[in-house]
Every structure is written in C-alpha cells, then in structure tokens.
C-alpha cells in the first residue's frame, strides 16, 4: 500500500503537481527532508521531483523508499526518446512525465549558470539551423521564461493509483 507522496521542488512547479495529486487521492505529502522523520525505509511512495541534466533530481536519496512511480517534471517537450534517457540516467523504470516551466528568478546562482549554458548551446545550434522543432520551442521558453502546470495531465496517474487501491482492497 502506498504510504505517502514524497516530493522535491526547486522553483515550485513540482510542488504544485504533488499537492494537487495528494489532495486528489488523499495521501499525506512530505518533502524528501520531512519524509526522513515521517516514513520508514522501504515504505512505498510516489516520488515527485524535477529533472536536472536528464535525471530525476535526488532519486537516489528517494530510493531508500520503495518508489512505485516517479513523477518527473521538466522543461523539455515529451518524447519517447526523452523518457528513455531519463529512465536510463535515473536508473528507474516507472516514470511519468509532467510538463513544467522555467522560473529564472527563483534559480540559485549555480543553477542559473547551468541553465545559461543550456541556453547558449541551443542558441548556437539555432544559428547553424540545426534545432529540431521541439528544441525551438524549448529555446523560446528558455528565452522568456515559461509558466505552466497542467493539472489535467495528472489524470492517468490518479487512475493508476485508484486501480492499485482496488487491487489491494
């Protein structure tokens, strides 16, 4: 039985998804830090976190619990290749991708540098006319910042959770 939602959010997008999900299914919700006091090792959880460098942030820490699903929030557009890459980098299979945004003003200085580097690489590729259509969208979003939380996209995960409950009952 799933005990709780555990989440990690840097600029707030993941937090919004995680809280909306927790409210919909009626599960307690903890940050990764709070979870250490509230949960036991190997308790079953759903882990919500953002993506950094194609990996689910702090998934290795979260693996002290039994992660039934990891909901990964990123700025890139969904594609099967992207999910395969995130699975490989995170060494985890059950991944559900959610579209996040970009809040430049909330980034820590080191994160801002990393994001500026990604932006610079996209711009360089753009100058050579080598960007894919998806990358063009990301470049645009990175240039101007991007606010989105599509709560409807949680539907599948909510259905999956409700099916799990029925299986246990």
Ligand X SMILES: Cc1cc2nc3c(=O)[nH]c(=O)nc-3n(C[C@H](O)[C@H](O)[C@H](O)COP(=O)(O)O)c2cc1C
- Report the interface residues with ligand X, using CB under 6 A: 9-15, 50-54, 73-76, 100-102, 107, 111, 114-115
> Is there a contact between 46 and 161 (Cβ–Cβ < 8 Å)?
yes
End-to-end CA distance of the chain: 10
Tokens linked to 135? 């990358």
∠ CA 5-47-17, nearest 5°, is 70
Nearer to ligand X, 19 or 160 (CB): 19
Q: How far is the CB of 13 from ligand X (least distance, A)?
A: 3
Nearer to ligand X, 67 or 72 (CB): 72
Cα gap 103→113, rounded to integer Å: 14
For residue 95, give the 3-state DSSP assignment. Answer: strand
Q: How far is the CB of 118 from ligand X (least distance, A)?
A: 7
From residue 130, give the alpha-carbon distance in Å to each of 47, 101, 126, 141. 35, 23, 6, 18
Nearer to ligand X, 62 or 100 (CB): 100
Nearer to ligand X, 109 or 169 (CB): 109
| Closest chain position to ligand X (CB) | 100
Q: How far is the CB of 138 from ligand X (least distance, A)?
A: 8
Q: How far is the CB of 168 from ligand X (least distance, A)?
A: 30
Nearer to ligand X, 65 or 97 (CB): 97
Cα gap 4→165, rounded to integer Å: 13
Q: How far is the CB of 60 from ligand X (least distance, A)?
A: 16
Element (H, E) at 4: strand 4-8
């Amino acid at each position: 039985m799933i005990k709780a939602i555990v989440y990690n959010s840097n600029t707030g997008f993941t937090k919004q998804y995680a809280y909306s999900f927790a409210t919909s299914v009626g599960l307690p919700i903890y940050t990764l830090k709070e979870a250490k006091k509230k949960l036991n090792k190997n308790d079953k959880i759903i882990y919500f976190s953002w993506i950094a460098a194609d990996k689910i942030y702090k998934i290795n820490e979260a693996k002290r619990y039994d992660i039934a699903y990891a909901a990964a929030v990123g700025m890139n557009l969904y594609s099967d290749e992207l999910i395969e890459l995130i699975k490989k980098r995170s060494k985890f299979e059950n991944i559900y991708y959610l579209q996040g945004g970009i809040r430049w003003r909330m980034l820590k200085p080191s994160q801002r540098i990393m994001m500026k580097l990604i932006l610079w690489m996209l711009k360089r590729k753009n100058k050579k006319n080598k960007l894919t259509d998806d990358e063009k969208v990301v470049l645009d979003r990175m240039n101007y910042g991007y606010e989105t939380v599509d709560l409807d996209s949680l539907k599948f995960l909510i259905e999956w959770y409700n099916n799990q409950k029925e299986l246990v009952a």
